[in-house]
Amino acid sequence: LKSPILPPPFQNHGNYVVSLSKVARWLGEQCEEAGVQIFPGFPGYKVLFDEDDKVLGVQTGDKGVDAYGRPKDNFEPGIELKSKLTIFGEGPRGNLMKQLCERLNLAEGRSPMTYEVGVKEVFEVPAGRIAPGTVYHSAGYPLPHHTFGGSFIYGLQDNKVAVGFVVDLHSPDPYLDPHRTLQEFKKHPFVQEIIKDGKVVEYGGKAISIGGWKSQPKLYADGALAVGCTASMLNAQRLKGIHTAMKSGILAAETAYEAMVADNYSDEFLSRYKKKVDESWIKKELYPVRNFHSAFDFGFIPGMVMAGVQQVLPGVTHPYPTEEDHLRTKEAQMMYNDFTEPEELEAKIPKDPALFPDKLTDAYLSGTKHEEHQPSHLRLSDPNQCFTCYERYRSPCTRFCPVKVYEMPEDVVDQVQAKLRGPGGIGVTSDDPKYGYSQHTLPHPVVLREAGAEVQEFKAPTVPGQQHESQLLHINFTNCIHCKTCDIKCPYLNLEWTPPEGEGGPSYNFS
């Protein structure tokens, strides 16, 4: 159904469609020409604090560690990069920002952060099929009523077109699969007319922070500022955050300059950054749409009605989500008739590798590369939780991951029954805690070195990405495109994304 009017948030006339990866590389060149030092390949692993909780900088991860945590011949310990002021711009669900919020309570009093995940395929199509700069948006189809999401189609240069779909991770559906949703969307006749006789040449995926103004953490601390999606500055209504990220970076740079002139990096002095944000167009844009995303917790149709009311009455309020995304997932029992078994949905996807690639093919098309002989950067905290998770939720990670990082063995049912119900089994009860894990309980070289412990010897793994002898879940971490969905949506928060070694990850050319 075509909208009778074009809603103001979707009026993009006169704007540009750009490749963000190309813009970022170009900006990097401008920075280096201006004398800025850039250190690619050295991911930040840990925030450095002094005894008074002032941020001193970051520590990079170790390099040259094998799959068992042992130093290789090229081992290089992490470097402490100290600074009077550190600006955190890690995008959504940053591992360093998580540490900041946990230690300094920066998210206290804010609404829980919520996320969406977007997946995108770039097609090469016959000449003249779509004009560069053409933009289409849709909402709903093919998602069920209990899950919010929508698509975007962008006409690019050189006969390329980007087709993507964004899915709400606040969904209760245990069978949520963003990649499959994108494939279903492409079956629509309108989309088929655009992509027919074409082929997918690139794929990508990323979570986005859509909690908005109400979920924005404290933006400053002693020696630290936060910008962009890390600071919840994405406009959930427009599904855009690059412009707000740029503006917040400019305001942070102004504040940094003022701090250097005054030689004052205290929490009190840096609070002027928050004042700058509030007085800028960032707040003027984000505050009126602070309730947009939460409207869809009531379903797609009620959400559309409430979103329309907000256009007329920007100050209208309604209940905001009080749960994090992982707590919203319902158990995969047949009593929930709104959930369709994944096998039934997957059977409807055409077997056409050029137009409908599977997850592993799309993982290849993302250009993802990782050093294979390193510890898995996807950390599984408690292997027993995976047995319980399969029993209750049918292991959502095996579906919500856009590139098939997580898999279960063929005899998963037998293993789960033996573990949960066999002699001495751990069992499943209705009062089991949904949230329960300890950060950094796994043998990571940096953690071991800090504790003064020797690097532990491990047995040869029997499943991919194994970190525990009794591990059920296969973790193909070399497929990871760093979307952060697993860190957000695991029902038990049993999976933690940490930075991999070096420059591992996807390599985008058109996205």
User: What average pLDDT does range 438-460 have in this prediction?
Assistant: 44
Model confidence pLDDT, tens digit, residues 111-133: 899 999 999 999 999 999 999 99
Which pLDDT belongs to residue 322?
A: 67
Q: Say which range, 91-100, 294-303, 367-376, has the weakest mean pLDDT.
A: 294-303
The alpha helices in 331-382, defined as continuous H runs, are 342-346, 359-365
- Can you give the pLDDT at residue 234? 95
pLDDT in tens, 59-85: 998 888 888 778 888 898 899 999 999
Q: How far is it, in rounded angstroms, from Cα 488 to Cα 325?
A: 7
Task: Show Cβ contacts of residue 116 under 8 Å, excluding neighbours closer than 6 positions.
Answer: 149, 166, 167, 168, 169, 207, 208, 210
Task: State the CB neighbour count (10 A cutoff) for residue 436.
Answer: 12
Better-scored residue on pLDDT, 209 or 436? 209
pLDDT tens figures, 382-397: 999 999 999 999 999 9
| Cβ pair 183, 227 in contact under 8 A | no
Long-range contacts of 308-315 (CB under 8 A, 24+ apart): 311/7, 311/8, 314/288, 314/289, 315/288
pLDDT, tens digit (0-9, with 9 covering 90-100), for 157-168: 999 999 999 999
Mean pLDDT of the region 44-53: 96
Phi, psi of 505 (to 5 degrees): 140, -175
Q: For residues 1-5, give the mean pLDDT.
A: 86
pLDDT of 30 strictly over 90: yes
Contact predicate 478/94, CB 8 Å = no
Q: Residues 496-501: what's their mean pLDDT? A: 93
Q: Does the pLDDT at position 444 exceed 80? A: no
Section 205-223 average pLDDT? 95
d(CA 105, CA 82): 22
- Give the C-alpha separation, 254 to 247, whole Å: 11
Q: What is the pLDDT of residue 453?
A: 45
d(Cα 93, Cα 231) in Å, to the nearest integer? 10
Query: CA angle, 72 as apex, 71 and 77 as ends, to 5°?
Result: 50
SS3 call for 151: strand
Does position 456 have pLDDT exceeding 50, yes or no? Answer: no
Tokens 């975007």 found at: 152
SS3 assignment, position 235: strand
Residue 263 dihedral angles phi and psi, to the nearest 5° = 50, 50
Cβ atoms of 88 and 245 within 8 Å: the answer is no
Does residue 3 carry a pLDDT above 90?
Answer: no
pLDDT score, position 277: 98
* pLDDT cut 90: percent of the chain above it: 63
Percent of the chain residues past pLDDT 70, beyond the cut: 89
The CA distance from 384 to 470, in Å, is 8
Residue 180 has pLDDT above 60, yes or no: yes
**What is the per-residue pLDDT across 358-368, written as a single tens digit (0 to 9) for each?**
999 999 999 99
Q: Specify the pLDDT at position 279.
A: 98
Checking if the pLDDT of 357 tops 90, the result is yes
pLDDT band at residue 372 using 50, 70 and 90 as cut-offs: confident
Residue 153's pLDDT band, with cuts at 50, 70 and 90, is very high
pLDDT at site 443:
38
Instruction: Judge whether residue 44 has pLDDT over 50.
Output: yes
- 264 pLDDT tier (thresholds 50, 70, 90): very high
Evaluate if residue 280 carries a pLDDT over 90. Answer: yes
pLDDT at 367: 96
432 pLDDT more than 90? no
Is a pLDDT exceeding 50 seen at residue 38? yes
Q: Which residues contact 65 (CB under 8 A, 6 or more apart)?
A: 71, 72, 75, 374, 375, 445, 501
Greatest mean pLDDT range, 15-19, 345-349, 451-455, 481-485: 481-485
Mean pLDDT of the chain: 88
> Residue 151 and residue 155: Cα distance in Å, rounded?
14
Q: Is 299 helix (H, G, I), strand (E, B) or coil?
A: coil
Which is it for strands 149-155 and 220-221: parallel, antiparallel or unpaired? unpaired
The pLDDT value recorded for residue 393 is 93
Amino acid present at 268: E
Residue 449 has pLDDT above 60, yes or no: no
CB atoms within 10 A of CB 31: 12
pTM of the model: 0.90
Three-state SS for 276?
helix
Q: How many angstroms separate the CA atoms of 16 and 181, rounded?
A: 27
